[in-house]
Amino acid sequence: MPEPAPEAQHDRQVLLQHIVSEVHAEHAGGDVDVVREALTRLIAERGFPEQPQKWVDDTAAELSQGRHVVVDRELGIDSPLEETSNTAENQSRQESR
């Protein structure tokens, strides 16, 4: 099977980073089983290929500890992803009032 074009690979990494960041924004610090289920569900909903179970388990464990997970070091955590996190933080503050 031929290697995907670099642009396609980059686009997939960006999509996966957004999925992980969205799960972080909604479930950071939550129960690892809930985080794992949310991650698996969102990957499937977005039409992304199934990921290795070890990666899903390790990523869910990090997210459940409240840590950001960077899928690709070249992507880092950029402004749109930080906006997602800030939105979740603001929502939490409003709910606690």
65 and 30 Cβ atoms separated by less than 8 Å: no
Cα–Cα distance measured from residue 71 to residue 94, given in angstroms and rounded to the nearest whole number: 30
Cα–Cα distance measured from residue 5 to residue 13, given in angstroms and rounded to the nearest whole number: 13
Does residue 78 sit in helix, strand or coil? coil
* Residue 28 banded pLDDT, cuts 50, 70, 90: very high
pTM of the model: 0.68
- Those residues whose C-beta lies under 8 Å from the C-beta of residue 36, and which sit 6 or more positions away, are 56, 57, 60
More confident residue, 6 or 87: 6
Q: What is the mean pLDDT of residues 11-39?
A: 94
Residue 60 token pair: 């869910």
